[in-house]
Structure 1
């Protein structure tokens, strides 16, 4: 039986499943530095805010959402419009099967179409790998062409331990002196 993989725009009705995926990471990892699982209403509001300008995508395998990814403002000032910070989460049982790459590449393509030039990822990074955090996210981004561009030492504290945070960057477009403005993402299909 052939597996069906689909990347599509997220809908608010997807929020319960997306939040289910995220909950695992809040409660069991340092992949997010968030301490408390947001309420469904708070999570939906976050989605709405992102969807005003940026893509928010899900990946389905045989009709079940297995992960999600979105972009958002890098800093929030007009001069940074051509840069976006990316976020991706896969169901913790759906790793190492190509879904992350497919989802991230779809997100990058949509951002490129908008006119975004620089992609950034903020990643928790352990000095020593432990049960809460390993180096897989940094390695995943490196495989997709991101490069390390900054390290913040001991800046995140969770589960009674200090962790570093690294920034990785990927350039996906040409920078010019007369750069066209970034277009908001359109959810029409």
Structure 2
């Protein structure tokens, strides 16, 4: 059984370990050195300080992954558009953990009054599944940045996907994120 809940400080060692493995072995992140716990703690607190969600998935009671939203771009006019990040432990991939995390993230962002959720998906062995998952949840592809990252001895593409959280296009109403410094 998969459960989704708000992340807390006790989750940070597992979050840091999962992200560190992806940084060092994968291509979902374009970082080259795994950040330490103190840096991941600062990132976690920064997301929460902006009023954005950071979620954890548990599968049968064990940590299975996490997701969070962060500012899409730092300029103030972008404040209603966020980027989603989802990381799933290798041993539970393909079992619905990513879907549960992304669905929960979408629901939280929609209810907060945000306008768009961006998916920034780098080329990897899981990118086809990630792109397909995003499509099934209503994201549309808005572009591909070709060969923009160099990691593990090869050039990597990034697919940009966008979900309209407020299709009526009305002005922002509920969410007023904390200011992001440009």
Equivalent position of 1:144 in the other structure = 137
The yes-or-no answer on 1:49 pairing with 2:52 is no
C-alpha distance in structure 2 between counterparts of 1:134 and 1:8, whole Å:
25
1:129 aligned partner: none
Determine the structure 1 residue equivalent to 2:159.
166
Counterpart-to-counterpart distance in 2, 1:42 and 1:72: 15
- TM-score, normalised relative to structure 2: 0.89
Match runs of 1:103-118 below 5 Å: 103-118=101-116
Q: 1:9 to 1:133 in 2, by over 3 A?
A: closer
Matching of residue 11 in structure 1 with residue 8 in structure 2: yes
Match of 2:23 among 21, 26, 33: 26
SS of residue paired to 1:44: helix
Question: Structure 1: how far apart are the matches of 2:47 and 2:101?
Answer: 17
Corresponding residue to 2:69 among 68, 71, 91: 71
Number of paired residues? 176
Report the secondary structure of 2:102's partner residue. helix
State the 1:30 CA deviation.
1.0
| Bigger Cα Rg | 1
Counterpart CA distance in 1 for 2:60 and 2:83 is 29
Cα distance in 2 between the residues matched to 1:134 and 1:108:
19
- When the two chains are superposed, the root-mean-square deviation of aligned CA atoms in Å is 1.8
TM-score (norm 1): 0.86
**Offset of residue 169 of structure 1:** 0.5
